[in-house]
Amino acid sequence: MSLHLPTLALVVCVVLLTTTVIMTLVGLTQRTYRGYWWWTAAQGMILLSAVGLLLRDAHPWLPALSVLLWLQWPMTMLTGMRQFYARTDFRTPHWMDAALLALGFWALLTLDHSLPDDLGARVASFSLVSIGFFLYAGWQIHAIRDWRQSPYLKALLLYLVSAALIQVPRLLSGLSSWGAPVTAPDHVQQPAVLVALVAGVIFSVYICLLLTYERTEHDLRESHRQLRVMADFDMLTQLPNRRHFTEMGTQALRLSTPGSAALMLFDIDHFKSINEQHGHAAGDEALKLVAGSARRLLRTRDLMGRLGGDEFVALLPDTTVKDALHVAQRMVRHVERSRQTLQQQTLSLSFGVVQVQPDEKLTDAIRRALLALDEARSQGDSRFVSAEDEDGMPVFAPSQTLGHSNF
């Protein structure tokens, strides 16, 4: 039983109109990305191709126009892919797509003008050009780095290769019927191939929508990750903020030997004057310098955070107060080596250190260390003061003088 071509074309028009409307509505109502409207345009031109096939007897140029509109589909889809995956290094520049499309159109129009009554030549040439376009598009999509991880890209690539392969029998049929008149039976035109190709086009629409939703889901996850980073970290120094440091530090204390960790608070002496005399940009550079120096010195299991302003905190597992003093001395020396001179202003650090007591909350240890830091500030610049807790009252050890750096 042969398929009635006008009836087939009418059904195809209705189906393609539905898919084109769906893609347009999605593009107007949902978030889309670069390249999406190229995919929609490809679908719309396929619809016009089916309309031209339905009305092919209305004008002598309609059949040729319908063929050209059909052939553009893989190349227009590829243009959308190039924009959707803009960071991908495709195998050829984008202008090559347009050049190949123009060359294919020119070859078909030239052959159609030279052999207007040869159905076999028309079918063979159309099939050959169509196979080439589908394989070329598949070859380019294979260059996308994500195709191995994305099942949707794999499905699209499979369709492009399959669409080329199912046209091979049609190509052979056209070659064997070369010279047949345009009134030849439909076995040369093989409408069943058209059905398969249109079904694949509709399937590709589904794939394009899934690619869009996949990208949207990825962007939502990335936005959530960035929001989480902004909520947990100080953007200037890239250190955990007070809340996140407290969460991580509390967990670290649970996993460490009770009473074995030292907590060290430190800040920049006269930081306010740096901002006032040299501007907030200079103050930001000082904060980043100190944070970077501390990160380089601390161990991977040590935790560091920014409490706010110019105050920093570090939790040092398996560390005594005496060990923390050595850490502070190395930190000051490192600041001296790594600083960048800014109008030769003095940059010094003061430290307050406590030994975290067994079963002591981290917030309580931070409070005690802050009292020790206040004591260090009161005794002058570049001081190191430790505090012990006796009957709920802090007892400060004699302060140690540290070096300073010109900033």
pLDDT tens sequence across 92-103: 888 898 999 999
The DSSP bridge partners found for residue 405 are 347
In a domain, 13, yes or no: yes
Q: Are 215 and 274 in the same domain?
A: no
pLDDT digits (tens, 9 = 90+) for 327-354: 888 888 888 776 655 444 667 888 999 9
Q: What does the alpha-carbon distance between residue 309 and residue 301 come to, in Å, rounded to a whole number? A: 25
Take residue 81 and report the two structure tokens written for it: 């892919």
Q: Determine which of 81-85, 188-192, 243-247, 373-377 has the lowest per-residue pLDDT on average.
A: 188-192
pLDDT digits (tens, 9 = 90+) for 217-248: 888 888 888 888 788 888 898 899 999 999 99
Q: What does the alpha-carbon distance between residue 335 and residue 295 come to, in Å, rounded to a whole number? A: 11
CA distances from 173 to 34, 95, 139, 209 (A): 40, 33, 26, 35
Instruction: Say what the pLDDT of residue 264 is.
Output: 93
271 contacts 310 by C-beta, under 8 angstroms: yes
Q: What does the alpha-carbon distance between residue 39 and residue 74 come to, in Å, rounded to a whole number? A: 10
267 contacts 350 by C-beta, under 8 angstroms: yes
Q: Are 258 and 379 in the same domain?
A: yes
What's the Rg (C-alpha) of the chain? 36
Domain's final residue, options 230, 253, 276: 230
In a domain, 236, yes or no: no
| CATH number of 368's domain | 3.30.70.270
pTM above 0.85, yes or no: no
Q: Are 103 and 193 in the same domain?
A: yes
Q: Are 193 and 254 in the same domain?
A: no
Q: Which residue has the higher pLDDT, 206 or 311?
A: 311
Q: Which helix (H) or strand (E) holds 39?
A: helix 36-54
Angle at 241 between CA 236 and CA 247, to 5 degrees: 155
pLDDT digits (tens, 9 = 90+) for 43-77: 888 888 888 877 877 777 777 788 888 888 899 99
**How many domains is the chain partitioned into structurally?**
2
Query: Model confidence at 393, in pLDDT bands (50, 70, 90)?
Result: low
In a domain, 237, yes or no: no
Cite the beta strand spans of 319-369 per DSSP E: 346-347, 349-355
pLDDT digits (tens, 9 = 90+) for 268-295: 888 888 888 878 888 888 888 889 888 8
Instruction: Say what the pLDDT of residue 187 is.
Output: 43
249 in helix, strand or coil? helix
Q: Are 269 and 355 in the same domain?
A: yes
Domain's final residue, options 203, 230, 257: 230
In a domain, 235, yes or no: no
Q: Is the pLDDT of residue 23 over 50?
A: yes
Q: Is the pLDDT of residue 188 over 60?
A: no
Q: Are 102 and 142 in the same domain?
A: yes
Q: Are 372 and 253 in the same domain?
A: yes
Instruction: Say what the pLDDT of residue 192 is.
Output: 62
Q: Are 247 and 311 in the same domain?
A: yes
In a domain, 209, yes or no: yes
Q: Are 214 and 177 in the same domain?
A: yes
Instruction: Say what the pLDDT of residue 227 is.
Output: 82
In a domain, 154, yes or no: yes
Query: Model confidence at 313, in pLDDT bands (50, 70, 90)?
Result: very high
Instruction: Say what the pLDDT of residue 405 is.
Output: 45
In a domain, 172, yes or no: yes
- In DSSP notation, 116-172 reads TTBHHHHHHHHHHHHHHHHHHHHHHHTT-GGGGT-HHHHHHHHHHHHHHHTTHHHHH
Q: Is the pLDDT of residue 404 over 70?
A: no
Q: Are 174 and 115 in the same domain?
A: yes
Q: What does the alpha-carbon distance between residue 282 and residue 270 come to, in Å, rounded to a whole number? A: 13
Q: Are 167 and 138 in the same domain?
A: yes
Instruction: Say what the pLDDT of residue 272 is.
Output: 86
Q: What does the alpha-carbon distance between residue 116 and residue 181 come to, in Å, rounded to a whole number? A: 9
**Mean pLDDT in residue range 174-198:** 62
Residue span of the structural domain in which 168 resides: 5-230
Q: Are 310 and 217 in the same domain?
A: no
In a domain, 393, yes or no: yes
Cite the beta strand spans of 285-401 per DSSP E: 303-308, 311-316, 346-347, 349-355, 383-390, 393-396, 400-401
Domain's final residue, options 196, 230, 264: 230
